[in-house]
Structures are given as structure tokens and as C-alpha cells.
Structure 1
Amino acid sequence: MPEKKKIKVKVKKRRLKVKKILVTILIMGILVLSFLYIKRLPITNIYIVGNNILSDKEIIDISGIGNYPSFITTLGSNIKDNLMENNYIKEIKVQKKIWGKVYIYVTEKKVLALYNDKLLLEDGLLVDNNYNVMSAPILIGDITSIKEKFIKKFSLVDNDVLLKISEISYVPNEVDSERFSLKMNDGNLVYVTLPKITKINKYNSIYSGLEGKKGIIYLDSGDYVEVKE
């Protein structure tokens, strides 16, 4: 009788294959659980930079992250969109950093003046003074006919100089319909026209030249100072 062939069962190789599958499933499970865990990690710290009018708390509330949601699923673009709806905000930059930290860099619109009991912003908006901004100069007179140009030109005034102005009065004359007088906090009076408004940015050096004396500074014509005795 012919000899029967022996069939070899590859049990060892089958066991190795099953082992590889189990290891793969285990690794995938660990990765999924790790992702779910990391996804649930909240924002740990929120830093607000550059704001003066709006408070940190208000910015955080408006941004929509006041409840410190998931760090991963919170998009910087959503934070920016929420904040840009506020009339006082000009620009927003959001940075997400390690350990769940979120930095919000705020650029607020310049407040040019308090006009008709409202704040006149650099983009022409008139908004209620809900934040009791007292540092803005009071604008006196009807500037309706030159409002657009007033906004464009006064936006060029340096912030530190703008803070030194207590009142802006519209005082046109026969020679110039865009003439203003600026009452300074230090007691000086400045006359200037819109085309020459950037001259006021040299006010600090002009003031130091007065050596403590008060006077009327004519920047609208002649660029001279009439010192008060």
C-alpha cells in the first residue's frame, strides 16, 4: 500500500497572525482613547493683549470661550469672527500655544472725539459711550459738511497728542472752512486746519520750547506762537 502523506498544520504561523491582529487592535484602541482624551482637554489659560476700552472679561465672553471649551475643537477663526462683531474692535489676532493657552491680541479703533454725546470712532461710527471713555476730546460744532475729511485727517493724529486735547472746536473763517481750535489740557490753544493737522504731532517739541509759558499756537498759518504775558 502506498504511504499516506502527512499534512502539516501551520499552527504557529496562525497564532502569530492572530497576535499581530490583536496588537494592532490594541494600538488602535489606545490611539482612539488618547485622541478622545486629548480632544476633551479644555483651554487652560486665556491671555488678552492690547485692549484699553474693553475689559478682559468682556472680550472673553464675546469670544465665546468663557466656559473654557475644548482646546482642540476651538477654532481661532471662530474667536476672531465673534469679536469682530464688536464696534470698538479694529483687528483681532488669535494664537493657540502649547498646554492649552490661548492668546488674543486686540487692536481697538481709535476714539477721535466725543461728539453729540457719542464716541466718534476712526471708521466714522458714532457709538454710545457705554464704557464712560473720558479721555477723548469734546468736539464742538457742526462738522456734517466735512465729517468724512475730519475723520480721515484726525485719524492721523498720534494717540499721545490726542490725549492732550480737551476740546476740539470747529471755527471756520472767511479764509478757511476747515479750521479748528484745539484746547489743550495744559492751557494752550492751537489753531490748525485739516490739511495741516499732522503738524499737531510735533506738539510736544513745541510745548517744550515754550519753557512753561502759555500761549496761542498758530499752525493754520505762519506757524508761530503768541505767548501770553
Structure 2
Amino acid sequence: MGQGKVVSLEDRIPKLKEQRKRKTNRRLVLLISVFFLLIICVIYFQSPLSHVGKISVKGNLSLIKKEIIEKSGISSQTNIWNMKNEDIEKKLLQLSQIKSVTIKKNLPNKVNIEIKEYKQIATLATGTSFSPVLENGVVLRNNSIKALNGPILTNFQKGKYLKHMAEQLQQLPSEITNSISEIHYDPNKTDSYHILLFMNDGYEVSATMRTLADKMVHYPSIISQLTPNVKGIIDLEVGSYFTPFKSKGEQKDENQDSEG
């Protein structure tokens, strides 16, 4: 039977004391570190360092940065940790131009606001003034948009018809909306949704807002079957048929007949 090395209790005590001392020192260092970390956190939360220092705004077209920031309620006095993104997003969505908004915090004190605006779908003519019409049917007044895009809408008033018109235009491909010069609201006894479209290629289209998006997608196919030099009215209200414009001679004869 082999003999192991026997260590006396007197030899082991110094080693045990050293181990306990190292453990105690590690605990002390950990406690001191946590203590100082807490102090730093308290100082940070109580100091301007925790307040919003920079606000970035992206995606705005018709809205100016200052207007968005003011509506959000964020300022240099706002504590970035007390901010509730959902509340700020709700405030910004109250602006009729904003379709969606995302708020992100970039520590230590930066806030990013990224918005998506409703597209301009048409231009409303009211007397001698022109205003952008958004895809949600909202008409912008006193706005900063310099370019007015889309078909010009005339005889339209705010309300369900204008909103319905915007919804129909939104469904059309851009190549179709770009080919429309003007849209006149032209209600009659049988159809309060009746409209007249004046096309850039010289044709006119008689249609109803109810089925405009469904029928106007076929416009390129329809005009491809017509004689290019013969312009006229394309009726899309019920079916689809073409009536050439009357010549000046025909109009003159009609006037003479009516006078006679």
C-alpha cells in the first residue's frame, strides 16, 4: 500500500487564508464597481446627457422638419428614456400628409424620425389657385410643395366625390395617370359620379368614377385600334364606343340648320 504525502494543518492554514482573502477582494471590487456604476447612472439620468441632443427626420416631402418636430413634442428638455415611441407616432399620424411613421432611439441621446407621406395623386383647381390632392383624398392648403403633379381636377369640392376620385386614380398605373391632362366633374341626372377626362393625346373620355380604374386600364388597347388622326370621345360609361369629333364644316351646317 503506497504512502501519500501528508500535509500538516499548520501548512494548510496560510493557503486557506490566502484563498479567502482573494475571494473577499474580488467581492469588494465587484461591489465597488456596481456602486460606481449606479452613481454614474444616477448622474447620467439627472444630467442633460440623458436629454435628446439631436433629432433626425427622414422621408418628409411636403412637411418641413420644424413642423414635424414641433408636432412630435420632442425637445432638448425631453428625457430620451421617458419617451414613449407609440405616443409620438400617434401624434405625428394626426398630420394628414403622414401615412406611416417610425421612431428609433440611438443612444446616448439621438432620436430618428422616419416618415412616409401620402403621394400626390392629382391637382385641384379652385378658381385661379391650385392645390395638391393626396392619395387619401386630402387637399393641401398653404403648403410648401413647389411642383403640382397629376391630372388637374376641376369642378370638384371636398367630400366623397373628391375622395372617390383620388381612390380611383390611386389604382391606375402611372402611365395611365400621366396620360390624363384634366378631369372635370360633370354629374348628370342619371349619374352623380359622371366625369370627363381630357387626354394628352387629344382624346376625351366620358366615364363614371365608379368604374374608372377598371376601365381606364384598357385605354392604351382602345386607342391602338383607332385611326390616329381621327380624334373624338371614348365613352366608357356602360360599354366602350368611340364618337369622332365633328368637323368645323359639320358644326357650321348644324348652326345654320338651327338658325333656319
Question: What range describes the TM-score normalised by the shorter chain of this pair?
Answer: 0.5 to 0.7
Deviations 1:23-72 (A, max 9, x none): 413323225415755963856672513x4422456434543457696654
Shift in Å, 1:192: 0.9
Equivalents in 2 of 1:18, 1:154: separation in Å?
Answer: 74
2:167: which partner in 1?
Answer: 155
Deviations 1:99-156 (A, max 9, x none): 8562513132655541534555555555424234522433323668xx4245235313
1:27 match: secondary structure: helix
C-alpha RMSD over aligned residues: 4.5
- The 5-angstrom pairing of residues 1-229 of structure 1 reads 20=27, 23-33=30-40, 37=44, 40=50, 46-49=56-59, 51-56=60-65, 58-60=67-69, 62-65=71-74, 72-96=81-105, 100=110, 102-108=112-118, 111-116=121-126, 117=129, 121=134, 125-132=138-145, 134-141=148-155, 147-158=159-170, 160=174, 161-199=176-214, 201-202=216-217, 205-206=220-221, 209=224, 215-226=232-243
**Contact 1:53-1:131 at 8 Å conserved across structures:** yes
Sequence identity (%): 24
More helix by share: 2
Aligned residues: 216
Deviations 1:78-102 (A, max 9, x none): 4323322323223323344678562
Question: Which structure 1 segments of 5+ residues have no match?
Answer: 1-10
Equivalents in 2 of 1:204, 1:43: separation in Å?
Answer: 54
Equivalents in 2 of 1:59, 1:124: separation in Å?
Answer: 21
**Contact 1:44-1:68 at 8 Å conserved across structures:** no
TM-score by length of 1: 0.64
Corresponding letter in the other structure for 1:216: I
TM-score by length of 2: 0.58
Question: Which structure 2 segments of 5+ residues have no match?
Answer: 1-16, 248-260
1:131 match: secondary structure: coil
User: Who wins on radius of gyration, i.e. which is larger?
Assistant: 2
